[in-house]
Amino acid sequence: MIRSRRAFTLIELLVVVAIIGLLVSILLPSLSRARKQTRSVLCMTHLRELSHGWHMYADQNHDVSLPGRFYKQPGGTSNPANWYDVGNGLKYRPRWVAAMGKQVGVYAFDEPSTSDDRQDYDSTVYRCPTVSEWNDERNYAYGYNHQFLGNARKTNGRFHNFPVNRSRIVTFSGTVLAGDCMGTAAGVPTADRLDYDNGGTEFNALGNHGWTLDPPRLTDASDRGTGDAGSPRTAVDPRHLGRTNVIYCDGHSQAATPREIGYRVRPGGVFADADDDPDQASNRFFSGTGRDDSPPDRPISAR
């Protein structure tokens, strides 16, 4: 006796395909969110690993907090006084993160240079996985709370805020050390922002001068952005599902919205900074005192 085989009808096949398509459409957003969450966790791990070097630097330098960047001596790259040890060689005026990395044995560059002002960070620990291409020393993914912790820029021959003794910080657990930074693009409307440019200097490009993280509230007399005339401010970047990763001076990390750590964003996307803003930004988590202190003023005259 021969038994006949029953084949699937076209309608049945279409139903199966439709069900598979529906399942995929349901699962894809969840998978995408999971990937983004994984990148956020890895980013936070990188920040925590590097942050341990901040206390180690102060321990070895008479309680002086790490400056955002080592100050510039006359002669530029030709002056060895502008060369600093980053663990595996000398580097011309390294930024804060390379100095911290030296302390924990995670070196920023395969071959640090005494003549190059714009090297890319080679170690993957220095990169935020969500914006892995933001690895230029200047246009960087992570910004340092330099205005309160150590601003070695000079105006009229005077430091803006350096040296800063670590012992001046009242609350380590309530003071932001560093975090995801958007750069000076934070100070322009969202519609006017440009894509990241590794070697660029445009104020409205994402990541521009991202190694500095301005506190939420600025004043007319305070520093901002690149320090150049006309520079917009920098601010945090909520690149991780609407949140930004920040690390505090005691080493603990947090994924927070910009508002939760004191920032205010105006309609159009510009990060506010004016003292007279109706919904005022607050420096409570940046000042080191737990209060909404104003950042230090730029020096207006030489001593």
Mean pLDDT of 112-119: 96
The string of pLDDT tens digits covering residues 246-265 is 999 999 999 999 999 999 99
Residues in contact with 6: Cβ distance below 8 Å, sequence separation at least 6, in sequence order:
none
Q: Is the pLDDT of residue 20 over 90?
A: no
Domain boundaries, position 213:
32-68+125-261
Could you tell me if residue 291 is inside a domain? Answer: no
Q: Is the pLDDT of residue 74 over 90?
A: yes
Could you tell me if residue 203 is inside a domain? Answer: yes
The string of pLDDT tens digits covering residues 169-215 is 999 999 999 999 999 999 999 999 999 999 999 999 999 999 999 99
Q: Is the pLDDT of residue 85 over 90?
A: yes
Quick one: pLDDT at residue 35? 84
Cα dihedral across residues 5, 11, 17, 19: positive or negative = negative
Mean pLDDT of 90-110: 98
Could you tell me if residue 64 is inside a domain? Answer: yes
Could you tell me if residue 55 is inside a domain? Answer: yes
Question: Which of the four pLDDT bands, split at 50, 70 and 90, describes residue 277?
Answer: low
Quick one: pLDDT at residue 244? 98
Mean pLDDT of 119-134: 97
Distance between CA atoms of residues 43 and 130, nearest Å: 8
Mean pLDDT of 132-154: 97
Could you tell me if residue 20 is inside a domain? Answer: no
Q: Which of 189, 183, 174 lies closest to 269 in space, CA to CA? A: 189
Could you tell me if residue 301 is inside a domain? Answer: no
Mean pLDDT of 83-90: 98
Question: Which of the four pLDDT bands, split at 50, 70 and 90, describes residue 28?
Answer: low
Distance between CA atoms of residues 36 and 117, nearest Å: 32
Both tokens of 222, joined, read 């305070």
Could you tell me if residue 25 is inside a domain? Answer: no
**271 or 280, which is more confident:** 271
Overall number of domains in the chain:
1
Residues in contact with 101: Cβ distance below 8 Å, sequence separation at least 6, in sequence order:
50, 53, 86, 87, 107, 108, 123, 125, 126
Quick one: pLDDT at residue 15? 75
Could you tell me if residue 211 is inside a domain? Answer: yes
Query: pTM of this prediction?
Result: 0.89
Mean pLDDT of 124-128: 97
